[in-house]
Structure 1
Amino acid sequence: MQAGELTREEADICRKFAQDGYVVIPGLIDPETADAAWLDYVTIWQESNPFNLPAQPDKFDPTWGRTGNVHKWVMGMHGLLHHPKIVNLIDLLLGKPCIPYQTIPSFYGSEQPAHSDAIHMTTFPLGFLAAAWIALEDIHPDSGPLVFYPGSHKLPYLLSEAAGIGIGDHKRLGRRVYIEKYEKMVQDLIRTKELKPSFFTANKGDVLIWHHNLLHGGSPVNNPEITRKSLVCHYFAEGVLCYHDLDNALADIANNGDYIGIVKEELATEENFDEQAYLLANRDVAEAVKNGIIPSGYSHFQSFGKSEGRKLRVDLKTQN
C-alpha cells in the first residue's frame, strides 16, 4: 500500500463503523494486560481507596464501582485509555488525532437506560467523539451485557433543547428531568423506529468502539452473582469544541474527564467572563494570545471585543 492509503482491514473497519455505528475488534487487548489493569484497580481500591467505595462490592447496586475517571488513580486503567491499538483506531475513525478523555469501570452490569453519548460529551461540530468498551473478563449473557442499537447513529442527534430540557434545568432539578424527558424520548425512538438491540457478550480483551450518536446502555442483570468487569473509554477529536450539553459546561481537556465554565451564549455575561470560552469563540483572538500579541482574551474583550460585539461563547444554534 502507498503512504496515506488504508489497508483492506482498515477500510473494512471504517465501512462497518459508518454503516452500523460500531465496530468490534476481537482480542485487541491481550488477556494479561486486561488482568493486570483490573488487579491494579482492585489493589488501589483495597489499599488506599481514593474512590471512597465501600469495603465490599454491592452486587445489587449496578452503579457500584462505576468510578468516573479511574485512570487518574490507576495506572493500569490509564494504560488502557492510552493503549496505542485503541488510540490508533479512534484516530482513524474520527479522521483526526484523538484526545483520551474519560473512563468508567464496571464490576457489574450497569442496567443503564439507552442513551447517546452526545448529550453528555458533546462536540461542535457534532460527531467528533467515539468510545471504546473493553471487556476485562468473558462477559456472561446473564451479567447484563452492554446493549446497543446498530444504525441508530444515523438518527438526528437528540440534545437537551430537543428533549425539552432548558439551560440550567438539569443542575436545578437534578436527574429527574433527564429521566422524564430525555430517557423517555429515547425509548419512544427505539419503539417507533423499531430499532433492534444487539448484546456484547464479549471475550476478555475484545473491544467495541461506538459512534458519538449510537444508542447504547446496560441490559437487565439476570444473575447478580455474575460480574461484568469492563472499562469504557471516551475520546474527543482534536480541534473541536468539547462540552457537556446537559449541564452547559466546557470540557476541561487539560484535566481530562472534568468540566469547567459555561458554554452557551444565553448564559454569558461580562460578570461571568470565561477566558477559555471567549478564546474558543474567537479563534483569531486565541491565535493573537498564543503569539504574544495581546496578553489575554479578557484584555482583548475590554479593549476591543465589547465595542466589536464579540461573542462571549460559541454560538451553538447551528448544531444539528
Structure 2
Amino acid sequence: MDWREEYSDLGFIVVENVFSHALIDAHLVEATALLREYGAFDAATMAALPIAADDALMVAMLNLHQRSEIARRLLASPIIRSILRQLFEAEPVLAFARSALWQPEDMLAHVDTAFRSPDPPYSICRTWCALEDIHPDSGRFYLVPGTHRSLAPRLCGEVLNERADLLALFEQLADAPESWRRLHNLAWPFVSAKVAERIEPDERIALDLKKGDVVFFNPAVAHGALACADASLTRKMMICEWAAQRASGFERGEPFASPFAHPRPISTQQDNLIDIRPILAARAASR
C-alpha cells in the first residue's frame, strides 16, 4: 500500500529515523535548560508548577522552537517537508511546536480537531516526534486507526444534533466559510469529550518509537497516551501542528514562523470540512 493510501485509510503513518540524533541531543540541551529555568526538573516538579508559571513556560517553549536555530534546523527536515507537501498539495506552515520530557499521566483518547475531512488533500497534520527511545513503561503514545473516518464524523453529527446553536453556525458555512474557526473552537470540546467512551482498549495501537522516529497523523484520529508505569522514566517528545498555506480557518493571531517559507494570506474558501448533513438526515429518517 502506498504511504498516502495508508495515511488516508489509517489516519497516520510512522516514518523511522527522520531526525539526526546529534541535532536532537542539541535541542534537548536547550529544552532542558529552559525547563530548569522555570523550576521543572522532573515529572513531579513539572506537575507542581503554579498555573501562571506553567503558562509562562508554555509560551517560552513555543518561542524556543520559533527562535532557536537548532530547533528550526530540526523542524526543517527534508523528509518532513516532502511528506507534508505531498499530503497538503501545498507548502506546509508550522502552526505550533513544543517539546516535553515527562508525561506520566494516562491521557484519555481524544481528537485534536473537528469537522475536518478524512480525504486528501488535507489542511492540517500533526507530528509526534520521539526525542529518545520511548520505553514501554513511560506512557507510550497511541492512536486508534480509522477513527477519523468511522468515529469523528459521527461524533460531529451527534454534537450538531444536540446543540442547536452549533448546528445554526454549521449551516452558515456555505455562505460564510470563514466562521469555521468559531465552529471548531466551540464544538471541539463537545466532540472530544465523547471519544474516550467510544474507544475499546484493544483498539488502541501503542507505538514502539525509537529516537528520531516521527508519527504523522490526522488530528481527527483518536489518540492519547498510556499510563506511565515507572515514574523514574522520561518520555522525551516533540509535538507539532502543520497547516497548508491555503487552509481556511487557519488563523491564530501572529503566525508561527515557518522554517520553509513566509505564510501567504489564508483564503476564506471552504476547505476540507466534513459534510454532516447526510448523517443528520439518516438519523432523522430513522426516528
Q: TM range, normalised to the smaller chain?
A: 0.5 to 0.7
Instruction: Report the Cα offset of residue 317 of structure 1.
Output: 9.1
Aligned-partner Cα distance in 2 for 1:143–1:226: 6
Q: Which residue of 2 aligns with 1:188?
A: 197
Instruction: Report the Cα offset of residue 133 of structure 1.
Output: 1.0
CA, structure 1 residues 197+83, in 2 after alignment: closer, same or farther (shift >3 Å)? Answer: same
The counterpart of 1:54, out of the listed 32, 36, 39, is 39
Q: Which residue of 2 aligns with 1:287?
A: none
Aligned-partner Cα distance in 2 for 1:14–1:315: 19
| Structure 1 counterpart of 2:210, one-letter code | N
CA, structure 1 residues 136+316, in 2 after alignment: closer, same or farther (shift >3 Å)? Answer: closer
CA, structure 1 residues 141+318, in 2 after alignment: closer, same or farther (shift >3 Å)? Answer: closer
Q: Which residue of 2 aligns with 1:106?
A: 100
Structure 1 contact 40–75 (Cα < 8 Å) conserved: no
Aligned-partner Cα distance in 2 for 1:165–1:228: 42
Q: Which residue of 2 aligns with 1:67?
A: 58
Partner secondary structure for residue 194 of structure 2: helix
Identical aligned residues as a percent: 19
CA, structure 1 residues 252+120, in 2 after alignment: closer, same or farther (shift >3 Å)? Answer: farther
Instruction: Report the Cα offset of residue 54 of structure 1.
Output: 1.9
- Normalised by the size of structure 1, how large is the TM-score? 0.61
CA, structure 1 residues 39+121, in 2 after alignment: closer, same or farther (shift >3 Å)? Answer: farther
| Structure 2 counterpart of 1:108, one-letter code | W
Instruction: Report the Cα offset of residue 318 of structure 1.
Output: 7.6
Offset from partner CA, 1:244-275 (integer Å, 9 cap, x none): xxxxxx42363459xxxxxxxxxxxxxxxxxx
Q: Which residue of 1 aligns with 2:279?
A: none
CA, structure 1 residues 63+141, in 2 after alignment: closer, same or farther (shift >3 Å)? Answer: farther
Q: Which residue of 2 aligns with 1:254?
A: 255
Instruction: Report the Cα offset of residue 16 of structure 1.
Output: 1.5
Q: In proportion to residue count, which structure has more helix?
A: 2
Instruction: Report the Cα offset of residue 26 of structure 1.
Output: 1.1
The counterpart of 1:76, out of the listed 67, 70, 73, is 70
| Structure 2 counterpart of 1:95, one-letter code | E
Partner secondary structure for residue 132 of structure 2: coil
Aligned-partner Cα distance in 1 for 2:165–2:13: 34
Aligned-partner Cα distance in 2 for 1:104–1:166: 34
Larger Rg: 1
CA, structure 1 residues 201+113, in 2 after alignment: closer, same or farther (shift >3 Å)? Answer: same
| Structure 2 counterpart of 1:251, one-letter code | R
Task: Please list, as runs of the form range in 1=range in 2, the aligned pairs for 1:193-212 lying within 5 A after superposition.
Answer: 196-212=203-219
Q: Which residue of 2 aligns with 1:221?
A: 228
Structure 1 contact 108–227 (Cα < 8 Å) conserved: yes
Structure 1 contact 81–233 (Cα < 8 Å) conserved: no
Structure 1 contact 118–212 (Cα < 8 Å) conserved: yes
Partner secondary structure for residue 9 of structure 2: helix
Aligned-partner Cα distance in 2 for 1:143–1:315: 38
- RMSD of the TM alignment (CA)? 4.0
Instruction: Report the Cα offset of residue 224 of structure 1.
Output: 1.3
| Structure 2 counterpart of 1:24, one-letter code | V
Task: Please list, as runs of the form range in 1=range in 2, the aligned pairs for 1:1-320 lying within 5 A after superposition.
Answer: 12-46=2-36, 49=37, 53-59=38-44, 67=58, 69=62, 70-109=64-103, 111-119=106-114, 127-155=122-150, 156-157=152-153, 158-159=155-156, 161-162=159-160, 164=163, 181-191=190-200, 196-243=203-250, 250-252=251-253, 254-255=255-256, 281=268, 320=276
Task: Structure 2: state its 5+ residue gaps.
Answer: 167-186, 259-264, 277-287
Partner secondary structure for residue 126 of structure 2: strand
Q: Which residue of 2 aligns with 1:299?
A: none
Task: Structure 1: state its 5+ residue gaps.
Answer: 1-10, 168-176, 244-249, 258-276, 284-313
CA, structure 1 residues 199+61, in 2 after alignment: closer, same or farther (shift >3 Å)? Answer: farther
Instruction: Report the Cα offset of residue 126 of structure 1.
Output: 9.4
Provide the aligned length of Structure 1 versus Structure 2: 238
Structure 1 contact 149–195 (Cα < 8 Å) conserved: no
Instruction: Report the Cα offset of residue 43 of structure 1.
Output: 2.9
Structure 2 contact 42–102 (Cα < 8 Å) conserved: no
Offset from partner CA, 1:144-184 (integer Å, 9 cap, x none): 011111111213434595475967xxxxxxxxx987x4444
